[in-house]
Amino acid sequence: MAEPQAERSRLCVFPDLSRPQSAADIETWCQPHRKIFGEFSSSSFGDFQTVFDQPQEYIMELTFNQAAKGVNKEFTVNIMDSCERCNGKGNEPGTKVQHCHYCGGSGMETINTGPFVMRSTCRRCGGRGSIIITPCVVCRGVGQAKQKKRVMVPVPAGVEDGQTVRMPVGKREIFITFRVQKSPVFRRDGADIHSDLFISIAQALLGGTARAQGLYETINVTIPPGTQTDQKIRMGGKGIPRINSYGYGDHYIHIKIRVPKRLTSRQQNLILSYAEDETDVEGTVNGVTLTSSGKRSTGN
């Protein structure tokens, strides 16, 4: 089960009050504080309810293939949502609520503070406009209750590690951040993928074909004669779907030449014969020396 992370918070930086503050400075500083403390317009506790109602964030683990191809993945979340017993009204089903006479049912009250007149959420009814006589036994009059829900998340093909999506759950929303595991075969670069393919010395010299693991299927790769180590072969359209565009990325196969650690007697004699005919060798080859005439001969 995914565990919720801590609610997102904002860092408030107080201004330097030692210097004169312009109207623009004060307005800039006040904006985040209005979000927290409210403007005497929502509830007797300012805008704290808005802060607590921010969507929760969850972490979803994905394999490399799940992120590349997309998947429908189910997991459990614990969220505060409208109480199912009272349907979010706060009062016990079958009971009535009392009209708030303090605010006249408007949910707002007027406060006079000298030359200023401010409207604030009614302190008596909390902005409901009515008084709950018999609170709901589940949510105790709050209208919301913690609920465990199983949700199916349609993970789009091509998501990357650390990407976050917003998803509605009931009447609430949650944030889901994807954590993508590394693949033992593929390396990712945007919509392109890279992998290694080991071939023999004979395949590198003479060419041939080899089979490589692809993202969607096994790929038959044509090896051209004279292939060099770390040479890249591009397989167009065999990569990951472009999440914000059309089409697919490419699959780049990096050639690795596998050099045998041991040779049979026949293989060694064949390689020595080949080495005698080489003309572009810098340094020496074990078993092959240069004669005084400049020709190669097999040494002991």
Distance, CA of 192 to CA of 170 (rounded, Å): 37
Q: Regarding predicted confidence, which is higher, 279 or 262?
A: 262
pLDDT tens sequence across 1-15: 454 444 443 333 334
Work out the average pLDDT over 99-113.
82
pLDDT at 262 over 60: yes
Residues 6+ apart with CB under 8 A from 298: 272, 276, 287, 288
Q: Does the pTM exceed 0.75? A: no
Domains assigned to the chain: 56-97+135-180 (2.60.260.20), 102-131 (2.10.230.10), 186-257 (2.60.260.20)
Altogether, the residues listed in the chain come to a count of: 300
pLDDT digits (tens, 9 = 90+) for 231-260: 999 999 999 999 888 999 999 999 999 999
- Of 263, 280, 274, residue with least CA distance to 298: 274
Q: What is the mean pLDDT of the chain?
A: 79
